[in-house]
Amino acid sequence: MSASRGMVRAATAAAAASEAPSRRASNKARTTAAILDAARACIAEGGVQAMTMDQVAARAPVSRATLFNYFAGKAELIDALVESNEAGFFVAVQTWRAAEGLSIGERLTGLFAATGRYLRRATPIQRELLGISWLAWNDLVSVPRVARVLATFAGLLADARDRGEIAPDIDMAAAGEIVCNSFLGVIHAWRMDAAYPVADRLDGAARLLAVMLQPDRPAPAIPPRIKIPGL
């Protein structure tokens, strides 16, 4: 009987030990989310420049020591907010890449049109975070971020090349930069001017890019729509 109880205790201890990392990860995720939500609330009240780490800690609420254990400083916290804000973009591009039966022109016009709809309903916080993203709040962190955006567009074009839709000798890195800079340029103009017709400009840019990439094929008359997970 005692041996049986010992086996039960051992099994219980093993189960508890296996659950501990999961609980720690869950607690860490909740704390991180609370800190990011608090930072967004502080930005909504006074803007990025006025936000302080003490304000974020008080609103989270977490101790100042806990906050700095998660984020070494304000720049790192802002980088996390920007990364969270950008996550939907990468999900959207991957979804358009995986969509079946669409040409590169349809993918670009669809992606740009979806972005225009998103930006038209963006909150002031999202607008400010987009500005930080493009203007590089933290240069060291922004370098790999921009590289990832460029690689994402280059991948979209490489798919089209592999499907035989665009010339095989096109420099994918250069083409990706052209598409990326067109995309980001329109978004930057919108960030600077609330009245800027961002949806129309994105639509026009996508159509021009589509014709440049496939000169023998007209741009789609109506941009297609697809369901983007989580958006």
Q: What is the pLDDT of residues 168-221, one digit of tens each?
A: 998 888 999 999 999 988 988 888 888 899 999 999 999 999 999 999 999 998
Number of separate helices (H) and strands (E) present in the chain: 9, 0
| pLDDT over 90, % of the chain | 51
pLDDT at 8 over 80: no
Q: What's the chain's Rg over C-alpha atoms?
A: 23
Q: Residue 105's closest CA among 225, 217, 204?
A: 217
pLDDT at 19 over 70: no
Q: What is the pLDDT of residue 115?
A: 92
Q: Residue 228's closest CA among 43, 90, 49, 80?
A: 90
Q: What is the pLDDT of residue 130?
A: 73
Residue 3: pLDDT band with limits 50, 70, 90? low
Q: What is the pLDDT of residue 1?
A: 46
Q: What is the pLDDT of residue 124?
A: 78
Please state the three-class secondary structure of 61-76 as a single string: CCCHHHHHHHCCCHHH
The CATH architecture to which 74-213 belongs is Orthogonal Bundle (1.10)
The DSSP secondary structure of 66-133, one letter per residue, reads HHHHH-SSHHHHHHHHHHHHHHHHHHHHHHHHH-SS--HHHHHHHHHHHHHHHHHT--HHHHHHHHHH
pLDDT at 10 over 60: no
The mean pLDDT value for 215-228 works out to 90
Residue 231: pLDDT band with limits 50, 70, 90? low
The mean pLDDT value for 92-108 works out to 93
pLDDT at 116 over 60: yes
Domain ranges within the chain, ordered by starting residue: 2-70, 74-213
Q: What is the pLDDT of residue 79?
A: 84
Distance CA 23, CA 10 (A): 20
pLDDT at 113 over 70: yes
- CATH class entry, domain 2-70: mainly alpha
Average per-residue pLDDT for the chain: 85
The mean pLDDT value for 51-67 works out to 96
